[in-house]
A and B are shown apart, each in its own frame.
Chain A
Amino acid sequence: MKNKSLVSIDDYSKEDYIEILRVAAEFEKNPVQNILEGRVVATLFFEPSTRTRLSFESAVNRLGGRVIGFTDSSSSSVSKGESLKDTILTVSNYSDLIVMRHPLEGSARYASEVATVPVINAGDGANQHPTQCLLDLYSIQKTQGTLENLKISMVGDLKYGRTVHSLIMAMSYFNPTFIFIAPDELKMPEEYKLFLDKKGIKYEEHTELAENIKDSDILYMTRVQRERFADPLEYEKVKNVYILKNKMLDGTKDNLKILHPLPRVNEINTDVDTNHKAYYFPQALNGVFTRQAIMAKILGLK
């Protein structure tokens, strides 16, 4: 992993995932370590993403490193018409590692080709967001004690949601069973089902939420967005179907944990927040440990 960019979740092997999770657990025990002292991490956010940026910057700061960068492209030379290539080549001179978020798909792969320092993809359009996936894995392992043989229900926008697609790819090494719960318009795309078929991984597809989560270990919620629907009437029909309410959790397994990549809008009712099965805020904290681990591994410090 040393000096290697992380652009896509399949840049890493199963062994790499396990190693990142091991180091992340180390950081959770001891989150303040000065191993990044004297190092500079550039956070280049060509589109705003407050949560992801703060999580990375928190991770760098807790490791004693410094952060340079910008929070949206209007405050960078991009607004003067500079190409991505020139921005990346320039910033390579100023930093030991580049963390970037960009609205165009494939931008992070391209940046990793031109940069002279490693690049971590913090989201390239609808394509990849590998550090989110690794923090999801960490949260699953931490709450379940294992990644093996789990039943994972995924709810909401399974068609466009990049987090669910990455999670399927990453979990495919650990013999999971998937329950896909989505409206017809937002069903899991064929290519991912073919991938699961090839790997011999079991999955079910449903449109009903409440009755299909009873024996799940993980409930992965995503947002059903109005703009995904061609017909607004279709949205109106399904918008309240995929809202998780506290009473729906009656009779679910004790070890069930609810994950969500955040931001939440209304897909998890706030009455769920106090349930011990709600895990989306601790999940965000896990993001800091996981990003500490990823940066430390890439810089060869762990």
Chain B
Amino acid sequence: MKEDKKLSVSAIQNGTVIDHIPAQNLFNVISILGLDQITENLVTFGTNFKSDRLGRKAIIKVSDKYFKDIEINKIALVAPTAKLNIIKDFEVVEKREVIVPSEIVGIARCMNPKCITNNEHIVTKFKVIDKNGNVALKCSYCEKITDQQHLQIIR
């Protein structure tokens, strides 16, 4: 099995490997990180790998790119289980867990159309709450809860 995985997605020399992404959220992660817009770096991804924890997981490898904290926070909203491996010269030099922040500023959109943040130019702000074991966002303005299903990322 391990052999198969290696063949499916080739190793990178320098960059970031994002592992343990829930397979159904792969394309969300790609879009949140803007990897569909990227023109320089080599991006490879694979999905539907078997995973004991997630059922099906996805992996993304981005060459010559290291992510900032704010970008990692964005991933936490759709893939809180993701793990980042920082690769230098084919070696994993650092492992980073995605930490779900307690507050999210300016990343997501409030799902309430009557919220002031959807009607004036205001940076959104949310408290991260737990809703039935999933990450959900409580708007600091209108106090309504935006759940995973309605989560929209501001790009």
Q: Which residues in A have some Cβ–Cβ distance to B below 8 Å?
A: 8, 83-85, 102-107, 109-110, 124-128, 191
Chain A's nearest CB lies how many Å from the CB of B149?
16
Whether A105 contacts B120 by the Cβ 8 Å rule is no
- Number of chain B interface residues as a range: 10 to 19
| Sample of 9 more A-B contacts, CB < 8 Å, known A105-B112, A106-B141 | A8-B143, A102-B116, A105-B114, A105-B143, A106-B115, A106-B143, A125-B114, A128-B143, A191-B145
**Given A83-B121, A84-B120, A110-B122, also A105-B115 (CB < 8 A):** yes
Given contacts A84-B116, A110-B116, A125-B114, A105 and B121 within 8 Å (CB-CB):
no
Q: How far, in angstroms, from A125 to B116 measured CA to CA in the complex?
A: 10
Cα separation A140 to B50 with both chains bound (whole Å): 60
In the assembled complex, how far is the CB of residue B109 from the closest CB belonging to chain A, in whole angstroms? 13
Across-interface contacts of A83 in B (CB, < 8 A): 120-121
CB < 8 Å neighbour of B142 from A84, A85, A127, A191: A127
7 closest pairs, A vs B, by CB? A106-B141, A105-B142, A106-B142, A106-B116, A107-B116, A104-B116, A109-B141
Docked complex Cα distance between A104 and B122 (Å) = 13
Subset of 8 A-B contacts with CB under 8 Å: A8-B143, A103-B114, A104-B116, A105-B115, A105-B144, A106-B140, A125-B142, A191-B145
Q: Mark B42-80, 1 if CB is under 8 A from A, else 0.
A: 000000000000000000000000000000000000000
Distance, CA A104 to CA B110, complexed state (A): 13
User: Is the CB–CB distance between B114 and A109 below 8 Å?
Assistant: no
Most chain B beta carbons < 10 A, residue from A83, A102, A106, A124? A106
Q: Least Cβ distance of A213 to chain B in Å?
A: 30
Q: Verify B139–A106 contact, CB threshold 8 A.
A: yes
Distance, CA A124 to CA B140, complexed state (A):
13
Verify if B119 is at the interface (C-beta below 8 Å from A). yes
